[in-house]
Structure 1
Amino acid sequence: MIVTQSLEKTLSHEGITLTEFSELVLRLLDYSVICREESQIEQNLYDRFLRVETLVQDYLSVLHIRLLHESQFQYVRAYPPGAEVPGMHDEQYQPFNSGLRQRLGQQEIAVILVLRSQYDKSLREGAVDDHGQVLISLEALSIAMHNLLGRALPEHILDRKKLFSRLKQLRLIQFGAEDEVANGDAWIRIRPMIVSFVSDEALSVLKDENQTADCE
């Protein structure tokens, strides 16, 4: 009760109710990311976050949950204890398995790694739009999957839709209607959030393995 009263008092200075604060925190815990351009709801939540950013960080730090706020692209991502966070190091709360493997299947991890690689490539080539996004065709992604990992995108339409819907939910890609991803001629946009989702170390491992395979 004392904590709640103190929190309410602090929030009142920003014109935010305890219910609105709870909605913001629960959204972060549920979705792990809030992206301002995603929807009107997330725009409102992101703007609310800006007003109480320090308070949200302090509140979640009790649970050892850390936040990465990328103001340039207007998104904030929550990381569980022990997860790798760009620019941060956490030795005290290391999980037995990486957060990426715990939450995602092998197919999802493979595609995310390749998306990160293609984003990095486009970044070096300057092929990034004003929103930090990279446009790539499914055909190009499929070729990159084969070249880097020797894998293919799901052939079954429902499996492919499920895969890309999951990546969209994670705010890693954007595309139009779900039916579009069933078409090999479709295009998707890789969002800048991919950089904070996949560490440079993971990308380096992918590159090293690919170079080793080429040598063999």
Structure 2
Amino acid sequence: MKRSWNTLSQASNGLYAVQDFERAAYRLVTEQVLYASDRNARVAYHLIEAHLEDFKSALEPLGIVLERNAHYRYVVALPRHGEGSPVSLEETILLLILRHRYDQSMRQGQIEDLGEVVVDLPALQEAYPAFAGRQMPEVGALRLLARSLKRWGVCRLVETEGDDPQPFHLQVRPAIVEIVGEHWLQRLDQHNRDDQDGQGDAPASEDDDAAA
């Protein structure tokens, strides 16, 4: 590490304690993305922004690359290695669909001020069969699935007003560009191979035995 948390704390003249640096680093690793626009992440974001090189040095031994997007004001922790917590096929498909919709909106200039893109339910209903060859999950299942994506900091579920026919929409956040890349296509390919292997290992039925 370039400078210790204790050194940085002393240099701040009492503004920050060692625990503030530790908490900010822990939040960044566990949440992966911190946005300056999020009220509960604002303090940690500004602390990391002010000591960016020190946090980079602290995370480097863990195999984590720290990047900052100065335009949309967020910092993202990117593991160099693909291992991590298990990701379901449903999560993988939804993340790839949202990344595709985000790229489309970028090309068409339909990006909001904070770099976010709104994806409504009709758009998802259209995208699922085209992308995954399956129908969109039921609204209740989709709600739970979208909430599970919060751990990557790339999407949040926004409840709509009472008179809106759609119960909610998804707000895709700009860090999706860094987080959902080519390795997610590899995840999808692995899921597909696992499915094929599982079918191949299925036990033969009595009819199959008889036919053999």
How would you bin the TM-score normalised by the shorter chain? 0.7 to 0.9
CA separation of 1:69 and 1:141: change in aligned 2, threshold 3 A: same
Whole-angstrom distance in 1 between the partners of 2:93 and 2:157: 19
CA separation of 1:17 and 1:153: change in aligned 2, threshold 3 A: same
Aligned to 1:198: 180
Alignment of 1:12-161 (within 5 A): 12-14=10-12, 15-38=15-38, 40-83=39-82, 99=84, 102-155=85-138, 157=140, 159-161=141-143
Whole-angstrom distance in 1 between the partners of 2:47 and 2:145: 31
TM-score by length of 2: 0.74
Contact 1:69 1:75 in 2 (8 A): yes
TM-score by length of 1: 0.73
Q: Secondary structure at the match of 1:124?
A: helix
CA separation of 1:160 and 1:72: change in aligned 2, threshold 3 A: same
Moved more, 160-169 or 194-203: 194-203
Contact 2:119 2:172 in 1 (8 A): yes
Where does structure 2 lack aligned partners over 5 or more consecutive residues? Answer: 189-212
Contact 2:153 2:175 in 1 (8 A): yes
Contact 1:116 1:203 in 2 (8 A): no
CA separation of 1:189 and 1:55: change in aligned 2, threshold 3 A: same
CA separation of 1:189 and 1:42: change in aligned 2, threshold 3 A: same
Contact 1:137 1:185 in 2 (8 A): no
Match of 2:144 among 140, 162, 174: 162
Q: Which amino acid aligns with 2:92?
A: I
Whole-angstrom distance in 1 between the partners of 2:61 and 2:183: 28
Q: Which amino acid aligns with 2:172?
A: I
Q: Deviations over 1:161-212 (max 9, x none)?
A: 22111123432223323999xx756432221111111115757999xxxxxx
Whole-angstrom distance in 1 between the partners of 2:118 and 2:160: 17
Whole-angstrom distance in 1 between the partners of 2:128 and 2:135: 6
CA separation of 1:50 and 1:6: change in aligned 2, threshold 3 A: closer
Q: Secondary structure at the match of 1:127?
A: coil
Alignment RMSD: 2.9
CA separation of 1:111 and 1:17: change in aligned 2, threshold 3 A: same
Aligned to 2:155: 173
Where does structure 1 lack aligned partners over 5 or more consecutive residues? Answer: 84-94, 207-216
